[in-house]
Structures are given as C-alpha cells and as structure tokens.
Amino acid sequence: MIREFSLAARIVSILVLPAIALSQTQGRSTVQNRSDLDTTGATASFGPKQSANSASDTERLSAESKGALESHRWPEAAAALEKLAKLNPKVAEVHANLGLAYYFEGRPSQALASFERALKLKPGISQAEVMVGICEAELGRNKEAIALLAPAFRKPSDPEIGRLIGLHLLHSYTHLKQSDKAITTGEELLKRYPDDPEILFHVSRAYADRSYELMSTLMHSAPDSAWVYYANAQVQESLARFDIARHEYENVLKRQPAMPGVHYRLGRVILLGSPRTPESIEEATRAFEQELANDPHNADAEYELGEINREQGNYNLALDHFSRAVAEQPDFVEARIGLGRTLLKEGQTAEAVRHLKEAVRLDAENKVPHVLLANAYRALGDPVAARAEMDAYQKLNQTETFKRVPAAGAPTVQQIDP
C-alpha cells in the first residue's frame, strides 16, 4: 500500500517519546516523558518490588527506541518498543510509537492494535487516531477508515500528513466504488499538491477506473450504439491503430451521419494512417469539409484545411482557413503558428509577428514560433530581436526533458522546417 517513508520523520516528531528519564521520588523510581508535546500522564511507576534493573532497562530501551525511530530503523525500534511496552504497559506514547514502527515495517495489523491500545490509554493523541484510519484502509476496512480519515483530511494538522491521509482516503473510496467521492478527494489532492507524481498517478487511475465503469455500462446497455463505436475508435486512435480507428469512425457515421466531431476525427486518422498521396489528402479534405458543413464553428477542421492548403502552396486559401480557426478559438496555438508562417510566406511580416508572439504567450515552451519569429525579425532588419528569439529556441532545446505526445484527436502539430 502507500507507505511514505519520507513522512516518517514528520509523524515521528509528533508521536515519538524522546527519552524516558528516571527520578527517585520517596523511595520509588518514576519514568517521565521529556517530550515538548503535551504528554500529561505519560508516566510509569515502579513499585517497591520492582528492581533497579527494571528502571535501568526502561531507560536503556527508551534511548534505543528513540534513536531507532529517528533514524527509521523500524525492526530495531519495534524490538525495543515491544520490550518497553512490557515494562511500561500503561504509557500510551510507547504503544503509539510501537504502532508507528510496526506500520513502517509493513505490519498494519499489529500497528492498528498498538495505536488502539494507545488511544484507550490516552484518547487525546490525535495523530494516533489518524494512524488508526490509515491502518484500517490498508487492511481493507474502508468504511471504518473513511469515518476517521475524511474529517482529518478536511483539516490536517500538517500538509505532509494531509497528503498521506488523502491518498488512503482516495484508496478507500475507490475500493468501495464511491467514484464521486474518490474523484472529489483526488481533485482536492491535486489542488494541494499539483506536481506530486504519486498523486498524479493515483488520481489518474481513479479517473481511469471510473471511465472503465462507465464504458462497461455503456457497452452493456447499448452495445450497437454510435457511442460504443466512437469510444472504441478513440481507443484505437490513441494506440496508433489508425486503420481500425478509421473503420470504427465510419461505423459511427453509419449510425449518426451528423455526429459532431466525427468527420474531423476521421480526417485526422486518414492523414495519420496513410501515406500523403493526392488520394489520401483528398479523402481527408472531404472529411474536414463535411465536418464544417455539419458544424461551421469547428476550429480544428478549419485548421486542418488551412494546413493542407499551406503544404500545397495555396497560401490564400490557407490564410482564410487559419484566420477562421483563430477567430473561432483565439487561444488555438497551432492555428496561430500556421497563420503566422503563412503570412510570412505572403510577405506580411509585421502581421505574422503579431500572431507568432501571441503563440509564444499562449505556449511559452513551444519552440516553433521562436524560430519563425527569428526569421521574421531578420526580414524586418532587426538582428538583435532575431538573436533573442534564437537564444530562446536554444534554451528550450537544452531544457526540454521529454517529447510532447499529442493526444488522440489533437490537431496537426506545427513543425520546424528542415
């Protein structure tokens, strides 16, 4: 399950019993907790029959367990705390820390018993309550876990502990098939920790699980509907099986000839799955034109027709299509770039600069508009601005860590001319 060793120090700092000192009071030894936290009542007494050896063992085991916990040597911590718990069975913090050692050792059942014992002795240890909920989640007792974790997640005592609570809460909701609550929890996790890779993974999986449930219901309730074929077409397209995707999109259109977006998607898989021959380009063109006949406001179809005409040197037609795409969708980066580079071909350099600069503003990590802007500034006789754009391009080249993979159905990506 989700066992965050990086959070151990934070939890230890809350639960740990730092040292147990011995003081001689009226002929008996008293074990006292020296934590900065409120540990009122965290004492253990040795009666007259207990030997000095017991007190010495307590002091030694306290120091050993403290060191082992702080350095995350969980088996050593557990062994020392087990002995300490036998010597001091009524000290709640000892049981809480034993639970912590068991938990990070991967023993949630034993951890749960220790945390529950600690809470029975001292109900006010709030982090022990949280750890009970986390252990319940790992043991599959999801209803019990949610009862404890849901309120704790709303107002966690610490951001890092809130992260651990949220991940287990998401896990419990998912296992109970409470998809709406799982997704709500996932969105809150994303809001709090937007770049956390583990959270991104688990939340995406929650959405995938929900998507699978919905698609299973769709296929069961309407197995021959256009929507089933549409869903399968998108899956095949995402797997780059463009011939199969094309066949599935055609099945959609047999059932609903005017379904919005489908002619556009058909045109895209024709371009992606076939060599760029006059015949395939003509087929794709017809699909994009049909999309616009069904939906005159489809910016993606306008853009694709603009790009086809630009590649064929039909710059006036390309400008018309790119301009309409930008008018319909002003934040359409690829259309801005296509419009800008076509304006450059037509000698309308100042107007090209305006659109290319807007493309940079919209997508600061896109390298293509920087190269085109450098060409534009050279044409305008501004070598300083041209150099700045090339420097920006080189910087992006050096810092790029992964290649962008367009999503299924995404429009043609503008490229730098060789």
pLDDT band at 377 (very low <50, low <70, confident <90, very high): very high
Same domain assignment for residues 300 and 375: yes
pLDDT for residue 4: 53
Side chain identity, residue 366 = N
Question: In this structure, are 46 and 187 located in the same domain?
Answer: yes
Residue 333: domain span:
224-399
Instruction: In whole angstroms, give the CA distance from residue 378 to residue 2.
Output: 56
Q: Residues near 343 by Cβ (< 8 Å), separated by ≥ 6?
A: 319, 349, 351, 352, 355
pLDDT band at 55 (very low <50, low <70, confident <90, very high): confident
Residue 287: closest CA among 257, 307, 265: 265
pLDDT at 1: 52
CA dihedral 204, 207, 208, 212 (to 10 degrees): 180
Residues 291 and 153 in one domain: no
| Residues 45/20, Cβ–Cβ less than 8 Å | no
With respect to residue 409, please indicate whether it lies within any of the assigned structural domains.
no
pLDDT tens per residue across span 350-372: 999 999 999 999 999 999 999 99
Q: State the helix-helix crossing angle for 52-70 and 8-15, rounded to 10 degrees.
A: 150
**Residue 414 resides in a domain:** no
- For the segment 174-210, what is each residue's pLDDT rounded down to a tens digit? 999 999 999 999 999 999 999 999 999 999 999 999 9
Q: Which of 41, 39, 43 is nearest to 87 (CA)?
A: 43
pLDDT at 299: 97
The enclosing domain of 242 has a CATH number of 1.25.40.10
Query: Which residues, listed in sequence order, are joined to residue 24 by a DSSP beta bridge?
Result: 29
As for how many domains the chain has, the answer is: 2
Please indicate, yes or no, whether residues 206 and 235 belong to a single structural domain of this protein: no
Show which of 215, 232, 250 is a domain's final residue: 215
Coil, helix or strand for 2?
A: coil
Question: Which has the closest alpha carbon to 68: 102, 117, 114?
Answer: 102
Asked if residue 185 is part of any domain, the answer here is yes
Indicate if 45 and 162 belong to the same structural domain. yes
pLDDT in tens, 16-31: 443 333 222 222 223 2
Task: Tell me: do 65 and 22 sit in the same domain.
Answer: yes
Q: What is the pLDDT of residue 49?
A: 45
Rounded distance between C-alpha atoms, residue 180 and residue 214, angstroms:
12
Question: Each residue of 310-330: pLDDT tens digit?
Answer: 999 999 999 999 999 999 999
Write down how long the chain is. Answer: 418
CA distance 9 to 346: 64
Pairwise CA distance, residues 173 & 189, whole Å: 14
How many C-beta atoms lie closer than 10 Å to residue 357's C-beta? Answer: 16
In a domain, 407, yes or no: no
Examine residue 408 and state whether it is found in any structural domain, yes or no: no
Query: Are residues 165 and 249 located together in one domain of the fold?
Result: no
Give the integer Cα–Cα distance in Å for 335 and 333: 5
Average pLDDT of the residues of the chain: 87
- Which of 197, 215, 233 terminates a domain? The answer is 215
Contact criterion met (CB below 8 Å) for 91 and 14: no
Q: What is the pLDDT of residue 344?
A: 97
Burial letters for 19-38: b for 16+ Cβ neighbours within 10 Å, e otherwise? ebebeeeeeebbbebebebe
pLDDT value at residue 59? 87
| Nearest C-alpha neighbor of 338 from the set 362, 309, 378 | 309
Q: Are residues 238 and 167 in the same domain?
A: no
Return the structure tokens found at 196. Answer: 């956390």
**pLDDT tens readout for residues 400-414:** 666 666 777 899 999
- pLDDT band at 34, cuts 50/70/90? very low
- Asked if residue 352 and residue 280 are part of one domain, the reply reads yes
Residue 336 pLDDT more than 90? yes
Closest-CA residue to 234 (of 274, 269, 201) = 269
Domain match, 198 and 318 both: no
Is 38's pLDDT higher than 50? Answer: no
Residue 314 inside a domain? The answer is yes
Q: What is the pLDDT of residue 33?
A: 34
Domain-terminating residue out of 162, 193, 215: 215
User: What pLDDT, on a 0 to 100 scale, did the predictor assign at position 52?
Assistant: 54
Q: Which of 5-9, 41-45, 171-175, 335-339 has the lowest mean pLDDT?
A: 41-45
Confidence of residue 269 (pLDDT cuts 50, 70, 90): very high
- Describe the strand order of the beta sheet including 20-25 as a list of residue ranges: 20-25, 28-33, 43-45
Using alpha carbons, select from 233, 247, 183 the residue that is nearest to residue 210. 183
35-39, 93-97, 155-159, 280-284: least confidently modelled range: 35-39
Q: What is the pTM of this model?
A: 0.70
The reply to whether 196 and 341 lie within a common domain is no
Looking at the fold, whether 187 and 234 belong to one and the same domain comes out as no
**Rounded to an integer, what distance in angstroms lies between the CA atom of residue 168 and that of residue 232?**
33
